Structure 1
Amino acid sequence: MSAGDIAGLIAAVAFVALVAFLAVPILKLGKLIDDTRGTVQGVTQETIPLLHEVTTTVTTTNGELERVSAITTNVQQVTTNVSALTALFAATLGSPVIKVAAFTYGVRQALSGREPSSGGRRRRRKG
């Protein structure tokens, strides 16, 4: 064996040691990639049904919001109608009723011989 053969043998052994030394992190990295792939597949399998449920919930909620919108529109129409009816009643019957009430009050005061009192208090006549 010559000196060149020994140097080649030492270089080959060093190269094998270097490959063995670098193989350990590469194997660990491969295991990490496999675990990451499994995690991503698990998340995907759980996310797809969750997205279907969210879609169903949003669709149902939109339907309910449309119903609430219809109810709100109906309540607004009823409020408008009641307001118009109240205004009509006040214009038609309100003024005459107030006039009749004032007239009857005046007649009662005239028949009883009393003057209308201020502040809504009745005065007592002394004796």
Structure 2
Amino acid sequence: MLGAEGFIGSDWRAKLSLKYYFQRFFWGALGFVLAAWNGSIFSHVLPVPPLIIDGFSALLFPCAIKFVENLALRFTSREFWNKGVLIDTPGKSGGYAIFYVFCYVFSIPLGMAYVLCDVLKPHKNMRL
């Protein structure tokens, strides 16, 4: 989750690489397939078809994970996430599942926050 992959040195604001994106995209696409296969119980209430919402969620899922990781690493260190209660054990898998479900459910706002904060942020030397 908050491991060393995808991060460069001690920079907590590492950018989203294509490798990182496609490794996380699999889980977003799996969520899309499950939602498409199972259907939505709220399809009669939503003005937008649920598959469109699930499609955006699948595309923004890796960005949502990166946003949460960057936010967590802004206030903590990498070592914090691998010691004490959070050591890598089979019991940590439940925490991963909860984290991924949270990121999938909130992937549109979290992914858009990542895009707005990190991708569209102008460089320090850029003049407007």
TM range (shorter): under 0.3
Which of structures 1 and 2 has the larger relative contact order (alpha carbons within 8 angstroms, sep 6+)?
A: 2
TM-score (norm 1): 0.21
TM-score, with structure 2 as normaliser: 0.21
Task: Judging by fraction of residues, say which structure has more helix.
Answer: 1
